[in-house]
Structure 1
């Protein structure tokens, strides 16, 4: 009798245990790992709080020169999916995946995008496709489809979020177009540290004059420096720009040589931190175009004149300092 009761109780409890374990499994969020912060942000927006989103390259770091850490191995191993840009952007990723032993799906979110081919290297492409906002819509759709495939129970939520986000991206695209139109056509020249804005320039009608190629590993050529200085003088470009992930030393040198201004800091390979307006993809792109527009609308002559006055003032201050020092020494010696 007792044996029968034990079996009876066991069969009563078994369905309950099944329901609890099933609930725990369904309550666990899928893990989606992005290689960089731009599509990590897209993943967060589209997934809401339904997915555990993380990324590899830290905010402010250069993805071209990134060296993975032991912590990255754990992230990759535990991921259900990895969102990858491809197009030669993550040269360090293949080895990281192999060493991690991960079973994660590898999702190339640039699928459907026409890449810009390198004019220098055979079979090489420019990886910075997200700098064209219409391409970013393709990124977002690929992420949405990935989430739906991994977690079909929440496909309606993902679809709703994607549609809202798509509309925000379309509005952003129009804002960039409108802002470029406010820049005098002859001044639509963007001089930056590296060639991270080629898609941006091609899409929105801005001439690109970068110091380095698409990868920051490339050396700056003397011929490039000569060309950039020539373009500044011929087109009377009022401003050049530093980038958030690249040493600004060379840009600052060019700025001083030409008596122009640093127009501001631009973001391309990384979002800004949480204290900046560039902490989201949309915020990053809006920040970039607003900074570019504001700086390139300035008058080259006014900036050059202001720089000349400033330099002259400094010169007079130095003369004044030495003159006063000389008079004080003369007065002390007479005593």
Structure 2
């Protein structure tokens, strides 16, 4: 029995004898002849589907709404990893579980943040490490699309022209979101050009939009919402007359609501970062996520509504 087939069999046995269930791959998955591309989270899965079209099957390890930094893969994830032809990750230390995942499954992988001009984390236990949330920048998002195109072409050279055409069209739509955001913020006074969030996950978007950045904590899993963090953020918002503060959908927003209450700033949001929503939710695609967050930021800082 080949090593990969044996590995899958052993994982299934381990799951069944341990009383766990394997994630359902979906109807007809076993009969689908297309290559399986597995991504670490839902944003990357959606981006990959846009470039791939219908030439490959794309699945995400994590589900919508999941916190991805310290996700713990379940046995069913390992089974899917064993069966994947390609696994795509973000890199930059985002998926702290990913190296162990790939080592255990033996899957071929590619990192989608390769080539992005990284921004270091400014403080906390991860100080000077790369900020991993580069996909939040439309400019960096285009680089992700190029890396997806290249990874898919390496997997399936016969689809080269399709991947190239899909990637070019998708990149233009992503650029348009960034262009619109910058245009709508152009008249904002310099002292109010600040994006204040719960986690420091918006460094790349702030750089795109010409905004300074402030946050309560730099990276999820650091101390979150301490009195010292709240006091420092309150001082920043007051000193700069920041009109609105924001928080992400996957974290507790009580500390940021306290900042808003103490400063009189509007509490705006939520912003989406690490995960898409379900199909009927507010951000079922990566483009929806970028557009939603751009609109929330513009409304919060300028009062401009569509």
Q: The TM-score by the shorter chain falls in which range? A: 0.7 to 0.9
**Residue pair 1:182, 1:293 contacting (<8 A) in 2 also:** no
Partner of 2:143: 138
Describe the superposition over 1:164-207 as per-residue Cα deviations: whole angstroms up to 9, x where unpaired: 11211221221121122143332222111101001111222111
Please give the TM-score of this superposition, normalised by the length of structure 1. 0.76
Rounded to whole Å, the distance in 1 between the matches of 2:177 and 2:229 is 32
Rounded to whole Å, the distance in 1 between the matches of 2:83 and 2:229 is 44
| Structure number with bigger Rg | 1
Partner of 1:265: 270
Partner of 1:284: 289
Partner of 2:217: 212
Map 1:126-275 onto structure 2 (within 5 A): 126-213=131-218, 215-220=219-224, 221-275=226-280
SS at match of 1:219: coil
**Residue pair 1:179, 1:290 contacting (<8 A) in 2 also:** no
Q: For residues 118 and 253 of structure 1, do their structure 2 counterparts lie closer, same or farther at Cα, with a shift above 3 Å needed? A: closer
Describe the superposition over 1:1-36 as per-residue Cα deviations: whole angstroms up to 9, x where unpaired: xxxxxxxxxxxxxxxxxxxxxxxxx97101111111
Please give the TM-score of this superposition, normalised by the length of structure 2. 0.83
Partner of 2:66: 61
Partner of 2:8: none
Gapped runs of 5+ residues in structure 1? Answer: 1-25, 300-335
Gapped runs of 5+ residues in structure 2? Answer: 1-30
SS at match of 1:94: helix
Q: For residues 72 and 175 of structure 1, do their structure 2 counterparts lie closer, same or farther at Cα, with a shift above 3 Å needed? A: same
Q: Which has the higher helix share?
A: 1
How many residues of Structure 1 are paired with residues of Structure 2 in the alignment? 271
RMSD: 2.0
**Residue pair 1:184, 1:297 contacting (<8 A) in 2 also:** no
